[in-house]
Amino acid sequence: MKGPTHPSARRDRAEEARLAQLLDRLAAAYPEAKCSLHFTNPWELLVATILSAQCTDERVNQVTPALFARYPDPPSLAQAPLEELEAAIKPTGYYQNKAKSLQMCARQLVERFGGEVPGTLEELTSLPGVGRKTAQVVLGNAFGVPGIAVDTHVRRLSQRMGLTQQTDPFKIEQELMQKVPPADWTLFSHRMIAHGRAVCTARRPRCGECPVADLCPQIGVAG
């Protein structure tokens, strides 16, 4: 005869069930969630993701067609006059720092990787201007390597939904990777971003419209 189930075991099972429901509902609510940056190859996605820092994806998508036409690959951007590059990306903000990062990154790609964007996290994060979030975006969407990209939306929603109490992006990423099935990592990021933009906004989350409101321990808490 089995003894009583330990309270901690019941809590663990309840949390697993909550998480499963949460993931299923987000998948149902955002079945077409995907990377909103426009790109046709890993190089274009890398550049667009770097430009998206402190800038909307919509604005980046307005800038990149002309940028990619002028600098279609790392060698061309590596040799670009810095002032011309700055002018081309100025609408994305912080254009001087971004231009320097892009050119240093392009030169490293030429010198170390034969002008090709590498397909591993370690290699990508060794490039100037490329952090873990940028690398995970490129890997997940250009190379099909699952990863969780912790941007401002993923960070905010993960905390509100009780998926983590961490504040450091790396620690959040590691904790989410333990809870979300690996095959879903990239799509999970897209769904969280879509939900963060549409419903669970930073200042005034629309909890009354939220498909996971009953599963959220911090309904109405903005942060």
Instruction: Please identify every residue annotated as catalytic.
Output: 133, 151
Euclidean distance between CA atoms 108 and 121, whole angstroms: 15
50 with 130: CB under 8 angstroms?
A: yes
* Whole-number Å distance between alpha carbons of 160 and 146: 24
7-29 and 185-198 are packed helices; what angle lies between their axes, rounded to 10 degrees? 70
Angle (nearest 5°) at CA 168 between 117 and 178: 75
Q: Which residues of 104-118 are buried (b: 16+ CB within 10 A; e: fewer)?
A: ebbbbbbeebeeebb
Identify the three-state secondary structure at position 86. helix
- Residue 214 makes CB contacts below 8 A (sequence gap 6+) with none
Q: How far, CA to CA in Å, does 196 sit from each of 24, 63, 66, 130, 199?
A: 16, 24, 29, 23, 6
